[in-house]
Homo-oligomer: A and B are copies of this chain.
Amino acid sequence: MMRMPETRPYHHGDLRAALLAGAERTLRAKGAAALSLRELARETGVSHAAPGRHFKDKQALLDALALTGFERLTHTLEAADDPALPIEERLTALARAYLGFAIDNAALVELMYARKHDPDVSEQLAAAVERTITPFLHLIADAQQRGEIVPGDPERITLLAGAGLHGIAAFTANGTFPPQEALDSIGDVVHHLLHGLRPR
């Protein structure tokens, strides 16, 4: 008979990363409410007390998950940004990337924007949000310099555009809006955001 490769070593190696990966799998499959630390430990092959070494409690694991979510979203947006594009196309590309991420990672995004109770964590998350919207901020600032966007605090205008986008993503996530329709309408959304709802 062949012997199994090796019995599980006492030290896992990178238990923290393994727990985060496992947690995200169940998040995707069954939602945040169904996540159990004990089950996660079983799936990862460690004792139920082991996660406690890496995350002070369950909320800490969820918070860590939210933070990595923002990091990934940030990279997605950076990859989708093309400063050479005309403003409407550039904004549409960014918006499509944001919405695509929100559709593909609905449970994670819900977690990312959930209300937090720990002030330390909400500070970290606020900083992560700041980094995430940087591509939008640059777009707005660039366009303002060219006179293509209304004057005003670029940070506030960015939040406004981001809010519109996030609202669409939220409506899509909770089923008010079918994902395909949302993606198809992204050009319209951006157009209305830029040109307004009043006839001109």
A116 near B199 with CB under 8 A, answer no
A150 near B197 with CB under 8 A, answer yes
Residues of chain B within 8 A (CB-CB) of A167 are: 162-168, 170
Q: Does A114 contact B (CB under 8 A)?
A: yes
Contact count band on A: 35 or more
A129 near B160 with CB under 8 A, answer no
What's the least CB distance linking A41 to chain B, in Å? 20
Residues of chain B within 8 A (CB-CB) of A126 are: 175-176
Q: How far is the CA of A45 from the CA of B8 in the complex (A)?
A: 50
Q: How far is the CA of A59 from the CA of B32 in the complex (A)?
A: 13
Q: Max chain B CB contacts within 10 Å: which of A107, A117, A170?
A: A170
What's the least CB distance linking A40 to chain B, in Å? 17
Across the interface, A196 reaches (CB within 8 A) one of B165, B174, B177, B193, namely B193
